[in-house]
Chains A and B, each alone.
Chain A
Amino acid sequence: MSITVSTSVNGDAVEFVCPPEETLLDALRNRLGLTGAKEGCGTGDCGACSVTLNGRLVCSCLVLAAEAEGQEIGTIEGLAQGDKLHPLQQAFIDHAALQCGVCTPGILVAADALLKQNPEPSDEEVRFWLAGNLCRCTGYDKIVRAVQAAAAEMRRA
């Protein structure tokens, strides 16, 4: 049995057919070619697959693709505006907040969700918000600095 799903991804209307048990992560990666979200664990522990569902931060490996029906999905591919990077993306490059970069899409999506609801977080709030996104390379120091730099930049804008 298959299900037809009509949804919106980064503002674009899309439609795909998938089995009922397929995850949103697999649909994004394998049916829509959006491979920015990564599967690090498949159990919601690492956050590498972070996307937003109607603005709410979720692990797309824990969401069924069918649940996207009629909803709005946001992924890392939608963070930049054309060729203009989001301040978080620029800050991550400027502050060397990535090494291997595989957790970076998830962390950026999560950090964006944080700054949308809390434009001036404390370092501790950043650390607790990002506690669901594992990074094994950086020790998080430069990530926290980059998020704070982007937050400051966005408050100035």
Chain B
Amino acid sequence: MAFDAYQKREFKLVGTRVPRPDGIDKVTGRAMYGADPVAPGMLVGRILRSPHAHAKIVAIDTSEALALPGVKAVVTGADFVLPQDAFLADIGENAMAQGKSLYDGHAVAAVAAISAEVAKAALKKIKVTYEVLPHVTDVDAAMKAAAPVVREGLRLESVPDGAGGNVTHFCEFGHGDLAAGFAKADKIVERSFKTAATHQGYIEPHACLASVTADGKADLWCCTQGQFNVRWLCSELMGMEASQLRVTPSEIGGGFGGKTTVFIEPVALMLSKKAGRPVKIVMSRDEVFRATGPTVSTSIDVKIGMTKDGRITAGEAKLRYSGGAYQCMTVEMGGQAAFACYDLEAVRTQGWNVLTNRPKEAAYRAPGAPQAIYAVESVVDELCQEFGLDPIEVRIKNAAKKGTKSSYGPTFDDIGLMATLEAAKKHPHYTAPLKPGQARGVSCGFWFNFGGNTCVTLNVNTDGTVGVTEGNPDIGGSRASISLMAAEELGIPYEKVRTIVADTASLGFCDVTDGSRVTFAVGIATIRAARDAIKKMCGRAAKIWGIAEEAVEWREGAAHPAGPNAGKFPPMTLAEIAAVSFQTGGPIAGHHEVNADGAGVSFGVHLVDLEVDKETGATKIQRYTVFQDAGKAVHPDYVEGQMQGGAAQGIGWALNEEYIYGDDGRLQNAGFLDYRVPVASDLPPIEAVILEIPNPGHPYGVRGVGETSIVPPLAAISNGISRAVGKRLQQLPMSPPRVLKAIKSA
């Protein structure tokens, strides 16, 4: 059996609901977030943003701003030398425009000044001459031959001839004979859908504090999902060596994918370099909406054939995604995820990325999947209604399982979709009678889950405590989960372990906190680092006892002679070995560095009961249950939290949230008043039912849990509303005016 393979075991600590180590700091206001640190001599940085969706920047005159007393530095695109690499150049160009404003809110200049007041006044003195260009913000309009071309030269070779000038990428997935599959169907439904761009809506705006010294060293403190990624991107954009830039992540006030890249960080570094003083930049909420990374906006066609007994014979989807004014590969994930819940003989998805004058997309919880699966699950539901079939039975009949060749290629190993569907079917929610006016919606969801590069150092202290150093910002309780896994493996109490998130100078490279990878991948590295430390501690015991290292085994937190032949010695606990470590060879630490694979895919099923107000078109969510396979729930509280939180975000996406652009190409709702995320009174209790179908690729069976939960709400709610109003809705969000329109046309 492989070293990392899952082994069934009884856990002592994993699976318990321990208090999180950062809890007290966070309930007392002591925790330090991105905007909280200060540095001696710190300046305030502010960014000037373009009011135009698309414009040539003819000239920028910064002389008056620079002359203003208290202004210490001004930065424009001219200060940056962009790397050759297209991916890096896009990130630099997005942080500070290079000759062209590509969307409303694009940064064109920045100042550092002694106070916010002076900085604000200085921005007003920067004179930018624009030549306004025709713009396009709608994905379908941007596909047309006559559409203004947002940027030339981004088109990849994958794009077939004849596509419009804004199409930059094409992808295709699937297998089987589509025509033969559709020919077997008793009914084929073909529908088109549109989904609005939404924003992650983290409550903490982006913030950073940069300090560059004259010898080229720099420190950067920021709220990020990945300090090592920030170091890579910023050192490339600044032309620095990675070792000279130390990035320290603060506590992070939400990210959901939106803090996986950089926006203000290179600007703060450049301002600090020019001013010779530390510079802090904190975004306003308006800036967060206009100039960070919302989701793709999409337009999707889905065609599904079904027999009258509910077997899907073929499925096809055409996905047009726009990730704003930049190359964007999210459509690949949409194309792969669209039909992942189903075991299909014939399936094909095709995807196009389309440029629009919108901000550069960033990840948002299962990027690309919610939109694609919303469209597919809507058509499946329509077919269930058509044939009068139970929507869960139909999904059970078609569900992907172990051995299924997935719609995106790989053959599935142990997966939890069937168990999740069965749990939903048996749950009291599914059999509860509906009240008059109520309707029920169901949807499946899927996410791949990632592994990735991860380092962990585990230090055994001489008093018998353990410090775990890891490199992934903790957004939802991961330090507790990592401490639990370290304590479990070492056989010591949870309270003896303290896990900290290191800066980039203190640990090897760790990928971003994304892809639901942290509990999985940092878990593997932690378990292996613990095993490394155990091996060393067994060696120390062997040395003390004068026996061979192989004759020592570790159980229940102590070294034991492996058998009667090894000799009779009383066990030595971790604390006892640690206490004498200076006499037996020095400090003891375990390490592990890995590019983790074996991430287990994750499935979920959501049930919703809702009511539509026929006069206003408003939808009230009355009951909501989430079923999801966690593999192994290391800390069930925070697994439930991920399931509930993703559901709440999905509910917002389904009902309210959208980027609204005017004819002028400007964002019309850049604030929480007009971009309305769910508030407490909008939501019912959200029940979370955890399934545990172990991931064969993790020693404890862990799968990621963070992302799948945002996928099913879109279709579950749409399916519920469609049943409530007797008309299939095909656009998100299903805001009251759209629902009213559907009611009137039903």
Check: B491 CB closer than 8 A to any chain A CB.
no
Whether A96 and B637, one on each chain, are in contact in the complex, defined by CB atoms closer than 8 angstroms, is yes
Contacts A40-B203, A139-B648; A101 near B253 (Cβ below 8 A): yes
Contact of B203 among A94, A96, A134, A142 (CB under 8 A): A134
Contact of A135 among B28, B30, B203, B251 (CB under 8 A): B203
Number of interface residues of A (CB under 8 A): 58
Whether B641 and A96, one on each chain, are in contact in the complex, defined by CB atoms closer than 8 angstroms, is yes
| Interface hit among B7-15, B17-25, B49-57, B235-243 | B17-25
Find residues 241-280 in chain B having any chain A CB closer than 8 Å to their own CB: 251-256
Contacts A93-B23, A137-B641; A99 near B683 (Cβ below 8 A): no
Contacts A36-B28, A139-B644, A141-B644; A43 near B672 (Cβ below 8 A): yes
Check: B180 CB closer than 8 A to any chain A CB.
no
* Shortest beta-carbon distance from A134 to chain B in Å: 6
CB pairs A–B below 8 angstroms (27 shown):
A35-B29, A36-B28, A38-B33, A40-B253, A41-B285, A43-B285, A76-B29, A89-B28, A96-B17, A96-B640, A98-B27, A99-B254, A100-B204, A100-B252, A100-B475, A100-B476, A101-B22, A102-B203, A104-B26, A108-B27, A131-B681, A132-B679, A134-B203, A137-B475, A137-B476, A140-B683, A144-B680
* Shortest beta-carbon distance from B689 to chain A in Å: 13
* Shortest beta-carbon distance from A33 to chain B in Å: 9
| Distance A126 CA – B254 CA, assembled complex (angstroms) | 23
* Shortest beta-carbon distance from B15 to chain A in Å: 14
| Distance A133 CA – B682 CA, assembled complex (angstroms) | 12
* Shortest beta-carbon distance from A97 to chain B in Å: 9
B256's nearest neighbour on chain A, judged by CB, is A136
| Distance A144 CA – B685 CA, assembled complex (angstroms) | 9
Find residues 73-106 in chain A having any chain B CB closer than 8 Å to their own CB: 75-77, 79-80, 85, 88-90, 92-96, 98-105
| Distance A100 CA – B19 CA, assembled complex (angstroms) | 14
A residues in contact (CB < 8 Å) with B:
19, 29, 34-43, 45-46, 48, 75-77, 79-80, 85, 88-90, 92-96, 98-105, 108, 123-124, 126-128, 130-144
Whether B202 and A136, one on each chain, are in contact in the complex, defined by CB atoms closer than 8 angstroms, is yes
A133's nearest neighbour on chain B, judged by CB, is B680
| Distance A36 CA – B35 CA, assembled complex (angstroms) | 11
| Distance A143 CA – B645 CA, assembled complex (angstroms) | 12
Whether B28 and A48, one on each chain, are in contact in the complex, defined by CB atoms closer than 8 angstroms, is no
Classify the interface of chain A: helix, strand, loop or mixed: loop
| Distance A136 CA – B682 CA, assembled complex (angstroms) | 13
| Distance A22 CA – B569 CA, assembled complex (angstroms) | 71
| Distance A72 CA – B202 CA, assembled complex (angstroms) | 31
Contacts A45-B671, A136-B649; A98 near B680 (Cβ below 8 A): no
| Distance A88 CA – B35 CA, assembled complex (angstroms) | 25
Contact of B27 among A42, A85, A126, A136 (CB under 8 A): A85
Contacts A35-B32, A105-B29; A136 near B254 (Cβ below 8 A): yes
| Distance A17 CA – B615 CA, assembled complex (angstroms) | 53
Whether A127 and B649, one on each chain, are in contact in the complex, defined by CB atoms closer than 8 angstroms, is no
Whether A101 and B251, one on each chain, are in contact in the complex, defined by CB atoms closer than 8 angstroms, is yes
Check: B89 CB closer than 8 A to any chain A CB.
no
Which residues of chain A have C-beta atoms less than 8 A from B637's C-beta? 95-96, 142
Whether B19 and A94, one on each chain, are in contact in the complex, defined by CB atoms closer than 8 angstroms, is yes
* Shortest beta-carbon distance from B652 to chain A in Å: 9
Number of interface residues of B (CB under 8 A): 57
| Distance A42 CA – B672 CA, assembled complex (angstroms) | 10
* Shortest beta-carbon distance from A75 to chain B in Å: 7
* Shortest beta-carbon distance from A96 to chain B in Å: 4
- Inter-chain contact count A-B, CB under 8 Å? 183
Contacts A35-B36, A93-B20, A99-B645; A137 near B254 (Cβ below 8 A): yes
Which residues of chain B have C-beta atoms less than 8 A from A135's C-beta? 203, 680
Check: B647 CB closer than 8 A to any chain A CB.
yes
* Shortest beta-carbon distance from B515 to chain A in Å: 17
Check: B284 CB closer than 8 A to any chain A CB.
yes
Which residues of chain B have C-beta atoms less than 8 A from A131's C-beta? 679-682
* Shortest beta-carbon distance from A110 to chain B in Å: 10
Find residues 638-660 in chain B having any chain A CB closer than 8 Å to their own CB: 638, 640-641, 644-645, 647-649
Which residues of chain B have C-beta atoms less than 8 A from A142's C-beta? 637, 640-641, 644
Find residues 108-155 in chain B having any chain A CB closer than 8 Å to their own CB: 117
* Shortest beta-carbon distance from B77 to chain A in Å: 27
Whether B284 and A42, one on each chain, are in contact in the complex, defined by CB atoms closer than 8 angstroms, is yes
| Distance A123 CA – B641 CA, assembled complex (angstroms) | 19
Q: Which 9 residue pairs are nearest across A and B when measured between Cβ atoms?
A: A36-B29, A102-B253, A139-B648, A101-B26, A96-B637, A45-B672, A76-B29, A139-B644, A93-B23
Whether B673 and A45, one on each chain, are in contact in the complex, defined by CB atoms closer than 8 angstroms, is yes
Give the interface centre of B27, B204, B205 by most chain A CB atoms within 10 Å: B27
Find residues 660-688 in chain B having any chain A CB closer than 8 Å to their own CB: 671-673, 677-683, 685-686, 688
Which residues of chain A have C-beta atoms less than 8 A from B683's C-beta? 127, 139-141
Check: B156 CB closer than 8 A to any chain A CB.
no
Which residues of chain B have C-beta atoms less than 8 A from A79's C-beta? 28
Which residues of chain A have C-beta atoms less than 8 A from B285's C-beta? 40-43, 45-46
Whether A93 and B475, one on each chain, are in contact in the complex, defined by CB atoms closer than 8 angstroms, is no
